[in-house]
Amino acid sequence: MIKVEQLTKRFAATTAVSDISFDVRPKEVVGFLGPNGAGKSTTLKVITGFYSATSGSVLVDGHDVSRRPEAVKRAIGYLPENVPLYPEMRVHEYLRYRAALKRVPGSRRRAAVDSALERCRLGDVRTRIIGQLSKGYRQRVGLADALVGDPKLLILDEPTIGLDPNQIRQVRELIRDLGRERTVILSSHILPEVEAVCSRVLIINRGKIVGQGDPGELRAGLGKEGASITLEVRDPEGRAPEVLKAVEGVTGVGEPIAGEDGLAVFEVTAGAGASVRERIFDAAVGAGFKLLGMSSRTLSLEDVFVQITTSEDCDEGDAERDEEVAQ
């Protein structure tokens, strides 16, 4: 459905996206994950043809975006970040106009608008003025706009940003629903969202893809099915960090949060299995500090994400930070 090859996008002095390649298969729901300013939006804007690539190629449904933008645009329903809409128009007016713009033939326009309204549960606000709608409704108008004309590919840039938890859940359900019959790419900096909705995740940081796979794979491959263990110790002499680092299976020891009376709380990352906890216990007894509490949880995608986006690439020294690439 989408084939991106060696895509690079440079703005005057900054490189927003550098040499990324990926494929999206039909009917896949792919999540673009990355911290703010990682190059997610820029990549999406190149795919939709709003920006031109500096080098590399983008094929959508077999058409090259730079050569046949018209064909590509017709295949795509796009929800830009921040959902720009015309505030003075009424919801159904706006969707009718968008349907006409997207060349839905006159006879099918009403049906197309009605079905988009229904899918996004906008029936009760169809005659309201867009500017007077709440953020949640506006977001759904944007989604309905992306849907109208039944595109094969949906590109949603931060579709749940600024919504309340209830609305977020609704929008996610809708996206999951839509993903059953078409290809969806969405970007997000919220991990549980991507985990909940997407069948495949591309992690992008500083304009490069630093990891990809389905959410489980990512967790397994990169976090090595690890666990994060929270320890509460009484350790007046402060020996615990060193002792813990030496324990077999421990991959990292966080900064201690010191409390009163030599109490300290540590975050320890470790390989999976109960045996690590046993060894930690033995080590504590051996070293003579008191273990007051220990709790373990499997690494979430969030931990993996933090690991990837903060550890790799950081010391590569490429000065091309793209945080300034604000839209």
DSSP per position, 104-119:
--HHHHHHHHHHHHHH
Nearest Cα residue to 144 out of 189, 185, 83, 198: 83
Nearest approach, Cβ of residue 315 and another protein (Å): 28
Nearest approach, Cβ of residue 135 and another protein (Å): 15
Token readout for 214 is 């389905």
User: Considering the rule CB under 8 A, would residue 84 count as an interface residue with another protein?
Assistant: yes
User: Considering the rule CB under 8 A, would residue 69 count as an interface residue with another protein?
Assistant: yes
Q: Which stretch binds another protein (CB under 8 A): 45-53, 198-206, 274-282, 290-298?
A: 45-53
**Site track for another protein across 16-35, x = CB under 8 A:** x-------------------
Max Cα-Cα span within the chain: 81
Residue 213 Ramachandran class (φ > 0 left, ψ -120 to 50 alpha, else beta): left
Nearest Cα residue to 307 out of 228, 230, 229: 228
User: Considering the rule CB under 8 A, would residue 195 count as an interface residue with another protein?
Assistant: no
User: Considering the rule CB under 8 A, would residue 86 count as an interface residue with another protein?
Assistant: yes
Residue with the two structure tokens 């949060």:
257
Q: Which of 40, 73, 92, 182 binds another protein (CB under 8 A)?
A: 73
- Whichever of 60 and 280 has its CB closer to another protein, that residue is 60
Strands in 70-199 per DSSP E: 76-79, 153-157, 183-188
Nearest approach, Cβ of residue 1 and another protein (Å): 17
Token readout for 263 is 């109490």
Residue with the two structure tokens 């040499």:
19
Identify residues 92-111 at the interface with another protein (CB under 8 A). 97-98, 100-103
User: Considering the rule CB under 8 A, would residue 62 count as an interface residue with another protein?
Assistant: no
Q: Which of 6, 11, 67, 242 binds another protein (CB under 8 A)?
A: 11
3-state secondary structure of 166: helix
Token readout for 320 is 């091309």
Token readout for 256 is 């201690």
- Whichever of 149 and 211 has its CB closer to another protein, that residue is 149
Nearest approach, Cβ of residue 113 and another protein (Å): 13
Cβ atoms within 10 A of the Cβ of 163, count? 19
User: Considering the rule CB under 8 A, would residue 48 count as an interface residue with another protein?
Assistant: yes
Q: Which of 56, 57, 64, 89 binds another protein (CB under 8 A)?
A: 89
Nearest approach, Cβ of residue 78 and another protein (Å): 5
Q: Which of 31, 34, 39, 49 binds another protein (CB under 8 A)?
A: 49
Residue 307 Ramachandran class (φ > 0 left, ψ -120 to 50 alpha, else beta): alpha
Cα within 13 Å of Cα(96), Cβ side: 10
User: Considering the rule CB under 8 A, would residue 161 count as an interface residue with another protein?
Assistant: no
Residue with the two structure tokens 């494929």:
23
Kindly list the residues in this chain that would bind another protein in the complex (CB under 8 A): 11-12, 16, 42, 45, 48-52, 69-70, 73-74, 76, 78, 80, 82, 84-89, 97-98, 100-103, 145, 325, 327
